[in-house]
Structures are given as C-alpha cells and as structure tokens.
C-alpha cells in the first residue's frame, strides 16, 4: 500500500504516505512535561493512583480560585473528560464515525433535520422546533439567538440517544469523568486511562483569524435529556471554515497552536 487516502462525497480530504506516518511517530515524545505530536501541545501529568488525581484536582481548583481573586480575570472552571485509553485522541463521535478531520455542517444539518419528525413522536421537548433553521453559521451559535439555542438542545438530545455528533462530551465532575474512563471494560494491568481537564478562558479574551478553528463551549444550563443532568454534561464544538463552508473541525487543531491565553488543556494519567 502506498498510503492512506480519506474520501468524503468523492472528494479527497487527506492523503499521507507511509513514510510520512513513520516520520510523525518518530516525532512523538515527551519534552519538559509537554506532549508533542507534530505541533500538538498539551500539558501531560502522570500520576500513580486515583487518590493522587483527586489531590491534584483539589490543588488545581484552589490555585485557580486564588488566581481569580488576585487578578480579577475571567478564568473558566475546568470541565473534564474521561477516556478509557490514554492513546486515543480527542475526537467527536461524528469524527470517529466518518474518520474525517473536516465535516461540512450542512451535511450534519440535513441529517438531524431528517430525524426531527421522528424525535417529536418520542418527546415533547421540540414540538415548536421547525426545520427552518441553519446551524452552519458560527456567529449564530456563539451569540445564541433563540432558534440556535433550540438547535443546540436538540443536538444534545440526539447525542445522548446515540446519533453521531460534532459535540465533544465533557462533564463538570471529575468523578463522572473517572467513571466513564474506568467503567467500559476491565483494564489490563499496564493499560492507562486518561482524564482531560479543559478551561476555555484563562484570563484573557479569545482571539484568532477569521475562519480559523475555534472551540466553543455550550454549557450545562440547557433543556435536554435527563442523562444530560445526571452526568452534569458540558459540550464543546470546534468550528472552522473550509474552502467554501463552515464545518466541524478536530479539537486538536486548536491545541496545536499551544496558546497560553486561551484553551488550556491538561491530560492526566492516573
């Protein structure tokens, strides 16, 4: 085989040779507590037990609160995500399903519009939601007009019922994140789980080039399935502009920039 080719709707989105794959893996390594994968940078902390992780979270929260008091800056409380395998990347269910790093939102929009009438037969939550809306405009989602908020609520409901989604799941609770990391299957002795901590704002405003990949936090206080509240769910959406349209992008594209002013990520290995 000469390499990997990823296609969607008969368009080649990504091509890489086996030589390039080998070069990427040769670049994988730990440097001064940061993980480098190409330009992908995040802080990695290795622990020895769940108790150490609890201590770390407690100290982290105290330092965060003290920093907010001392500086008066806007610093987001962290949200957490547990993954049963520490080697897995941060990918949405939609990215995993299609194995693509850019998915036009209009394609996802068609899918969830198609299912709307069926969903209305199952729940009263969306009886007033019409199919006359558009989710692909980034500014609509960021500023939350009423119709976009309803769309987000609908997207979270679908996510909790198994439809592949551009939303990446998080939780306000480190313990719930731990549950999802540990519970799926029995772990081998040497297997490592991972708990991610993410803060969108770290004291500065967010910025970037127009159309550049950007992570948008959607928050907890929305109307959704009861599982949303039981799991203290939070969600992030990574949007960017492709050649012609807005689309769902890989969260890791944002972390590649390694900004110290926004989108702070820690990967903890208990």
Least confident residue range of 123-132, 214-223, 251-260: 123-132
- C-alpha 170/C-alpha 165 separation (Å) is 13
Mean pLDDT, rounded, of the chain: 72
**50 pLDDT more than 80:** yes
Size (the chain), residues: 270
**Share of the chain residues as helix, strand and coil, in percent rounded to the nearest 5:** 35, 30, 40
- DSSP secondary structure letter of residue 204: S
What's the token pair of residue 1?
Answer: 């085989």
What's the token pair of residue 259?
Answer: 């900004």
> What is the average per-residue pLDDT within 163-181?
91
- C-alpha 179/C-alpha 90 separation (Å) is 18
pLDDT for residue 178: 93
pLDDT for residue 153: 79
| 167, 159 contact by CB (below 8 A) | yes
Beta bridge partners of 4: 16
Give, in order, the Cα–Cα distances in Å from 122 to each of 100, 115, 116, 126, 172. Answer: 31, 11, 10, 10, 28
| 171, 177 contact by CB (below 8 A) | yes
What pLDDT band is residue 53 in, cutting at 50, 70 and 90?
A: very high
Going by C-alpha positions, the residue among 225, 262, 235 that lies closest to residue 141 is 235
pLDDT for residue 5: 36
What pLDDT band is residue 185 in, cutting at 50, 70 and 90?
A: low
pLDDT for residue 23: 32
Least confident residue range of 14-28, 78-92, 152-166, 232-246: 14-28
pLDDT higher at 102 or 131: 102
| 81, 217 contact by CB (below 8 A) | no
> What is the average per-residue pLDDT within 36-65?
79
| 235, 170 contact by CB (below 8 A) | yes
**105 pLDDT more than 90:** no
pLDDT for residue 56: 93
């Amino acid at each position: 085989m000469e390499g990997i080719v990823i296609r969607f709707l008969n368009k080649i989105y990504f091509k890489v040779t086996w030589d390039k794959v080998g070069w990427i893996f040769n670049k994988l390594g730990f440097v001064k507590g940061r993980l480098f994968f190409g330009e992908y940078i995040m802080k990695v902390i290795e622990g020895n037990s769940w108790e150490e992780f609890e201590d770390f979270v407690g100290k982290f929260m105290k330092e965060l609160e003290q920093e907010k008091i001392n500086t008066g800056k806007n610093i987001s409380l962290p949200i957490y995500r547990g993954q049963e395998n520490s080697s897995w990347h941060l990918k949405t269910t939609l990215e995993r399903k299609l194995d693509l790093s850019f998915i036009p939102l209009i394609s996802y929009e068609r899918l969830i519009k198609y299912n709307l009438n069926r969903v209305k037969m199952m729940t009263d939550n969306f009886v007033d939601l019409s199919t006359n809306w558009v989710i692909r405009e980034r500014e609509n989602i960021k500023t939350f007009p009423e119709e976009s908020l309803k769309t987000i609520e609908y997207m979270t409901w679908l996510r909790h019922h198994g439809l592949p989604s551009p939303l990446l799941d998080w939780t306000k609770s480190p313990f719930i994140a731990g549950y999802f990391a540990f519970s799926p299957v029995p772990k081998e002795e040497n297997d490592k789980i991972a708990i991610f901590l993410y803060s969108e704002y770290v004291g500065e405003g967010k910025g970037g080039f127009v159309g550049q990949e950007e992570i948008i936090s959607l928050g907890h206080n929305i109307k959704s399935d009861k599982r949303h509240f039981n799991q203290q769910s939070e969600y992030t959406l990574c949007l960017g502009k492709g050649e012609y349209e807005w689309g769902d992008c890989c969260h890791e594209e944002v972390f590649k920039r390694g900004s110290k002013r926004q989108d702070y990520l820690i990967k903890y290995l208990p």
